[in-house]
Amino acid sequence: MASSALISDTEPWKDLKGHVEEINKTHLRDLMNDVNRCQAMMVEFDGLLLDYSRQRATLETMGKLIKLAEAAGLKDKINRMFAGEHINSTENRSVLHVALRAPRDAVIQSDGKNVVPDVWEVLDKIQKFSETIRSGSWVGATGKALKDVVAVGIGGSFLGPLFVHTALQTDPEAIEAARGRQLHFLANVDPIDVARNIAGLNPETTLVVVVSKTFTTAETMLNARTLREWISSSLGPAAVAKHMVAVSTNLTLVEKFGIDPKNAFAFWDWVGGRYSVCSAVGVLPLSLQYGFSVVEKFLKGAFSMDQHFHSSPLEKNIPVLLGLLSVWNVSFLGYPARAILPYSQALEKLAPHIQQVSMESNGKGVSIDGVLLPFEAGEIDFGEPGTNGQHSFYQLIHQGRVIPCDFIGIVKSQQPVYLKGELVSNHDELMSNFFAQPDALAYGKTPEQLQKENVAPHLIPHKTFSGNRPSLSLLLPSLNAYNIGQLLAIYEHRIAVEGFVWGINSFDQWGVELGKSLATQVRKQLHASRTEGKTVEGFNFSTKTLMTKYLELSSDIPSELPTLLPRI
């Protein structure tokens, strides 16, 4: 395919468009009877089992999707990513999050330089530093050990680490390693988030980790200044050096902020924010909480999936298959959303993290060459752990709109519970739902079945389930640090595959800029109105009215701001 050509102009795309008609003649109820098809739609790798037999696809569809992948140059694009080429062309950068979890002796080049030694230099520094903090040999300004960590960051400097932290929190090995310690995340610039974070925390025993790739993000920097004030107003300004460290690519700004560069942990512009959890962004806070050895297992799990992604044939490649099926669902079957439904409470922050990875990566309107896309790219991701979701939005998924679902199940619970006299263990109870829901979606329930059950005729339309609703099931052997790494990498690569096939740049995020710059204009106006009584000018009628009302009703805020920290 010529570089500026659109994937939608290729024969395989057009062929798939035509193929939809064939698929519309099928029902999952029948497709599921074809055992050979189902068997061919299962892939096992490194303890994981993917079953995509409940996708609205036949083996012919899969063949056509592989042809689409070939037309998109998917294999070549994956290779170029691993080779450190500047595939993020609008920012002229490599995309090398895979280097963050490569073993020490691996060679991965960016701009002619092997980046793996740099990665390991930072990992070694984190290991050393986290041990110093955890052992209590580094103490705070009043001589006390630092037991609690607040990681200040937003977006990619927050969601991935929060996901991994939440998933590890109930893992037995991680629990042991974290005894007596707390890890908090401060993301929102809303002062309520500050209040919630510092409630019950003592600055004497708290370490603040400021996490920001750019070190310019408005929310993070104001929150960092707020916590700096919280520390220095209680322990004196000199305490900041003992109680604040940073993770950033911008070490100059870290130093300007007042953090000793010795206590800064670097990463590089070839790590995208939303792909940065395996850099110091995630590894530092997580190592402080759980120790480096637990976090290293997480990196190894991700690395295992990287290898699979890089070297397995497309037909047996889990992230590739998942990515192609997502493209099929979005661009051909016309299902714009995806529900992420982990049957594990420990994965409650998976969907929020994947929302950023997916929607910031693939929510684009033009091709990588800047050509307006004649089709919609990206998908709307949302989700909740099962079974909670079942009692919330599953109604819509069963009888309303069609939303392809990812069911994620775990064989061995992190926290098994059995009760004498119960039919099954508590985890079996959870997993009964994991196995039942995909079939309920696929098979549905027909009016004939309802008639046989003597359902009152006027209720039959209400109780009918059309079925034929696609899902896939991913079964993980357990949920330890290693498995969490595998799961993370599956989603990261799947999302890249979608972008590679759609022919977009999944690694920039220009769409977040406009709102930021308008907020700068508003901020200036609020300052001028409060300090000099200036009327609101330069905004449309609606915004002017809203801001004027806001200013009028909050005129008790002093024009010269004194310091006020939350009283919680």
Residues contributing to the site for ligand G6P (CB under 6 A)? 154-157, 212-214, 217, 220, 273-274, 360, 509, 512
How many CB atoms are closer than 10 A to CB 178? Answer: 21
Least distance (Å) between residue 42 CB and ligand G6P: 35
The dihedral of CA 361, 367, 370, 371: what is its sign?
A: negative
Pairwise CA distance, residues 312 & 309, whole Å:
6
Question: DSSP secondary-structure letter at 205?
Answer: G
- Catalytic residue, chosen from 14, 113, 516, 524, is 516
Least distance (Å) between residue 381 CB and ligand G6P: 15
Per-residue b/e over 451-465, b at no fewer than 16 CB within 10 Å?
eeeebeeeebeeebb
3-state DSSP call for residue 475? strand
What would the two tokens of residue 28 be? 């999952």
Pick the closer one to ligand G6P by CB: 153 or 438: 153
Least distance (Å) between residue 151 CB and ligand G6P: 12
Least distance (Å) between residue 253 CB and ligand G6P: 10
Pairwise CA distance, residues 227 & 208, whole Å:
8
Least distance (Å) between residue 156 CB and ligand G6P: 3
- Catalytic residue, chosen from 14, 17, 256, 391, is 391
Peptide bond into 252 cis (omega under 30): no
Pick the closer one to ligand G6P by CB: 361 or 525: 361
DSSP run (H or E) holding 66: helix 59-71
Active site residue 391: yes
Pick the closer one to ligand G6P by CB: 220 or 304: 220
- Catalytic residue, chosen from 360, 379, 492, 498, is 360
Pick the closer one to ligand G6P by CB: 212 or 287: 212
How many CB atoms are closer than 10 A to CB 175? Answer: 14
Pairwise CA distance, residues 387 & 341, whole Å:
9
Least distance (Å) between residue 145 CB and ligand G6P: 29
Give the burial class of 502: count Cβ atoms within 10 A of its Cβ; 0-12 exposed, 13-18 middle, 19 or more buried: buried
Which residue type, as a one-letter code, is found at position 447? P
Pick the closer one to ligand G6P by CB: 232 or 249: 249
Pick the closer one to ligand G6P by CB: 250 or 468: 250
Active site residue 516: yes
Q: Are 102 and 116 a contacting pair, CB within 8 Å?
A: yes
Would you please indicate which residues are annotated as catalytic (active-site) residues? 360, 391, 516
